[in-house]
Amino acid sequence: MQHELAHLGNGAHAFATQMLGSVDDAADAVHDALTTALQRPEAWDASKGTLKTWFMRVVRNRCIDMIRLRKPSADEVDELVDSALGPEESLLIEQRDRALQVALARLEDAQRQIIVLSDYVGLSYREIAKVLDVPAGTVMSRLHRARLALKKEFIADDE
Amino acid sequence: MMNEMEQHVGEMLSGYIDGELTQQQRQRVEQHCQQCAECGETLEELKLLKQRVAAGKLSIFGEDKWREDMNNPSVQTPRSVGWIMFIAGILVAGAVGLYVFISDPSMPVWTKLMLVAIYGGLAVLLYSVLRQRLLEQKTDKYKDVEI
């Protein structure tokens, strides 16, 4: 289980970063989720879904808790862009990846999350529906709209 | 009025690149994209977009960071162990206290009986409330609803 969780860590961190807009807060959320997973492994019911799906739900719930605890900010998206362009991150993330982060940051929260879950974490539509708690039949249309929005952001950047 | 093949396939383009369509739907997308330059171009762009996100580095950490996190003893120790130790400690301390209390010759018997009645009553009340809470939690049909 630990090996699989370590493998899921980066995807979970990317997902949490999209939800929280902060690399450090996202790391805390993943750390808390790992703690939950290791301390209460019986909470994962294999008959209800894969470890990946369950773990992403734990991460999402932890992010929601963290968002509730902190003061809402109208500049959240700007903060995400700024953090993506911060000096520390810029040393670690290449130009192409920063462009991707900036484009993602300009999308709505739900659009960012669904793109990361699908294309970065690699979840199926059914798994995405479970993680985001949305009807399975709506995932394709939500994801398609999100991708078109991301494509538009890239085109806007190129211009 | 447009026939089915002439209608744009829209969101099915995403379903196509994600492998989430039925065989019939896949054929429809393929045939439509052969005829419709707009949808064909969008399909290629979305494929590249998906590849770009998949290959992107959206987390600054590596797997080692999460392995180290999990090797932390505070993360690994099951919470149940903490509860077992806590309850065992309380029970041992209670048993020792009770023994000392009963065997104390300096306190009159009626005082002992009165204290046993007070603390015993409190214990019964606490047990009753906890039991009720547990039963409510087990039978609550909304307990799995996540906010």
Residue-level pLDDT at B1: 47
Between CA B23 and CA A136 the distance in angstroms is: 19
Of B12 and A67, more confident: B12
Find, among A103, A116, A143, the residue nearest to A59 by Cα.
A116
Residue-level pLDDT at A82: 47
Residue B98 CB neighbours (<10 A): 12
Between CA A21 and CA A16 the distance in angstroms is: 8
CB contacts of B57 in chain A (<8 Å) are 92-94, 97
Least-confidence region, from A6-15, A80-89, B42-51, B83-92: A80-89
Binary contact (A38, B49; C-beta < 8 A): no
Q: What is the pLDDT of residues A26-54, one digit of tens each?
A: 888 898 888 888 877 777 887 778 888 99
Q: What is the pLDDT of residues A91-149, one digit of tens each?
A: 555 667 777 888 888 888 899 999 999 999 899 999 999 999 899 889 999 999 999 99
Cβ of A27 under 8 Å from any chain B Cβ?
Answer: yes
Instruction: Judge contact between A56 and A35, C-beta under 8 A.
Output: no
Q: How far apart are the first and last CA of chain B?
A: 45
Window 103-122 of A: residues touching B by CB (8 A cutoff) are 104, 115-116, 118-120, 122
Structure ipTM: 0.71
Binary contact (B75, A38; C-beta < 8 A): yes
Binary contact (A97, B10; C-beta < 8 A): no
Residues in chain B: 147
Residue-level pLDDT at B14: 93
CB contacts of B44 in chain A (<8 Å) are none
Cβ of B53 under 8 Å from any chain A Cβ?
Answer: yes
Instruction: Judge contact between A116 and A132, C-beta under 8 A.
Output: no
Cβ of B22 under 8 Å from any chain A Cβ?
Answer: no
Cβ of B37 under 8 Å from any chain A Cβ?
Answer: no
Q: Which of A18, A34, A132 best probes binding to B when mutated, by most B CB atoms within 10 angstroms?
A: A34
Cβ of A125 under 8 Å from any chain B Cβ?
Answer: yes
- One-letter-per-residue 3-state SS of chain B: CCCHHHCCCCCHHHHHHCCCCCHHHHHHHHHHHHHCHHHHHHHHHHHHHHHHHHHCCCCCCCHHHHHHHHHCHHHHCCHHHHHHHHHHHHHHHHHHHHHHHHCCCCCCHHHHHHHHHHHHHHHHHHHHHHHHHHHHHHHCCCCCCCC
Q: What is the pLDDT of residues B77-113, one digit of tens each?
A: 666 777 888 999 999 998 998 888 888 888 888 888 8
